[in-house]
């Protein structure tokens, strides 16, 4: 296995796989602000912004043929995200979620996603050429939420794709993002995670999710487990605390940036992951990448919603 910044000098092509949903942000007066979001989509947007012309970012998902799906695609195009891997399924709709935040900026999510088009992303006839094209990317990025929403058949297709991509020297990036409500049982989730982890080159982990899913006692237990798997680069995100990194046998601790007032922590981890990956793809060290991740996340949590306005 190789670390992310050992890619060649050519402009890297990155495909992020997952779900974008209609986002409703509940304001203090009870009104709703509508936008779009989803973990891998948030990362795709911030990654595209961070890389600029130094990377090609495509999003892989399935949407409906409705006006919300049209608006999503236009938003992504405006962010310079490629749409060639997006399926549009007639009669289907994207999922929807509402964010409610408390006085401390912590959030509660309400979801409507059981019939979302993304659940058939890898099982339609139109998915065949997409699956065939994915192994030719330089980097494939997906999350624990991706694993959940794809379902059993979709996960089989994803695993086959990861194996072939690794054979073609692609790098695999995984954000653990464990959401218990998306799984029938913790055992199902563990099995799904364990099936893909041997093919991951960069694991972007949230400590709370690792403890909830695998019951690790602390960060050292997490690193020991991923070392046994053979993951060469592991980043342990810990919110406002310093992140911990284990990269090719070396350990680093990188402090988070202090923020006077947290408004909304939505997409804090997604934006960190985007900036970290972008820095590594541009040749930055693991420490420099973590510093970039903290900088972006500190800006994101001071603005409502998943995606902050462009500079």
Give the active site residues. Answer: 270
Contacts 24+ apart (CB under 8 A), 48-51: 48/79, 48/80, 48/81, 49/79, 49/274, 49/310, 50/274, 50/275, 50/278, 50/279, 50/292, 50/296, 51/278, 51/281, 51/282
Rounded Cα gap, residues 79 and 218, in angstroms: 38
3-class SS of residue 169: coil
Q: Are 233 and 248 in contact (CB under 8 A)?
A: yes
3-class SS of residue 15: strand
Q: Are 159 and 124 in contact (CB under 8 A)?
A: no
Count other Cβ atoms within 10 Å, centred on residue 216. Answer: 17
Q: Are 194 and 228 in contact (CB under 8 A)?
A: no
Pick the closest to residue 40 from 153, 125, 148, 189 (CA basis).
Answer: 148
Contacts (Cβ under 8 Å, ≥6 apart) of 106: 265
């Amino acid at each position: 296995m190789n670390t992310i910044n050992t890619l060649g000098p050519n402009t890297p092509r990155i495909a992020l796989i997952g779900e974008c949903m209609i986002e409703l942000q509940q304001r203090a007066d009870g009104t709703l602000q509508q936008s779009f979001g989803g973990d891998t989509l948030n990362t795709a947007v911030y990654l595209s912004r961070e890389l600029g012309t130094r990377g090609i970012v495509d999003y892989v998902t399935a949407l409906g043929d409705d006006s919300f799906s049209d608006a999503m695609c236009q938003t992504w195009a405006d962010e310079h995200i490629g749409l060639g891997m997006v399926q549009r399924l007639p009669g289907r709709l994207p999922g929807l979620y509402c964010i409610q935040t408390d006085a401390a900026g912590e959030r509660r999510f309400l979801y409507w996603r059981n019939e979302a088009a993304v659940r058939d992303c890898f099982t339609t006839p139109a998915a065949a050429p997409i699956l065939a094209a994915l192994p030719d990317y330089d980097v494939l990025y997906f999350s624990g939420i991706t694993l959940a929403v794809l379902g059993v058949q979709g996960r089989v297709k994803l695993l086959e794709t990861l194996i072939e991509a690794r054979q073609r020297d692609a790098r695999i990036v995984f954000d653990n993002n464990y959401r218990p409500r998306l799984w029938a049982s913790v055992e199902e989730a563990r099995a799904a995670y364990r099936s893909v982890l041997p093919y991951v080159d960069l694991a972007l982990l949230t400590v709370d999710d690792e403890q909830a899913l695998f019951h690790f006692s602390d960060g050292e237990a997490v690193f020991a487990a991923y070392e046994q798997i053979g993951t060469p680069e592991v980043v342990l995100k810990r919110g406002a605390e310093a992140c911990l990194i284990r990269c090719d046998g070396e350990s680093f601790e990188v402090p988070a940036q202090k923020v006077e007032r947290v408004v909304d922590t939505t997409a804090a981890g997604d934006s960190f992951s985007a900036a970290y990956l972008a820095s590594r793809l541009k040749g930055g060290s693991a420490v420099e990448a973590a510093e970039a991740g903290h900088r972006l996340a500190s800006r994101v949590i001071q603005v409502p919603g998943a995606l902050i306005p462009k500079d």
